[in-house]
Amino acid sequence: MDIQQTLVTLLSAVICVAIPIVVKAATDFLRNVTEGTVIEEAIDIVCDAVDETNQTFADQLRKDGTFNEAMQKEALRRSLENSLAKMNDRMKTVIEKHYNDLEKWILTQIEAMCKQNNKEAAATNAAQ
């Protein structure tokens, strides 16, 4: 009985120590796996913000011929603010962890999307 009780006590102690370690490792693993998905979701949010800005602000200015440098900066500001408003705290934290500067990362994404949109518009215009 003495050996059995000692083994049960020892096993209980090992399990009590092992459970938090295993749970933390599993949680860390899941966070690492989902970080890529969070960044992809953030990119989608920025794309949506750029599209919204184009639809509600920039497209009409382009039609009117008043989409100048000041308006481009305003469109950029609106897209940035819209993106930040739609991102949750976890998303912001993940991006800051990987890229250091959230606003700079968003601005880079916006500029890349604008460049891609301009290429697509030029290709469409050339095809017509």
Q: Helices 102-127 and 89-99, interaxial angle, to 10°?
A: 90
From its phi and psi, is residue 67 left (phi > 0), alpha (psi between -120 and 50) or beta?
Answer: beta
Report the pLDDT value the prediction gives residue 107, as an integer from 0 to 100.
Answer: 93
pLDDT in tens, the chain (128 residues): 588 888 888 878 777 777 777 777 777 776 666 666 888 899 999 999 998 988 888 888 888 888 888 888 999 999 999 999 999 998 999 899 889 999 999 999 999 888 887 777 667 667 66
Q: What predicted TM-score, i.e. pTM, was given to this entire model?
A: 0.68
> For residues 81 and 48, what is the distance between their CA atoms, to the nearest angstrom?
12
> For residues 80 and 104, what is the distance between their CA atoms, to the nearest angstrom?
10
Phi, psi of 83 (to 5 degrees): -60, -50
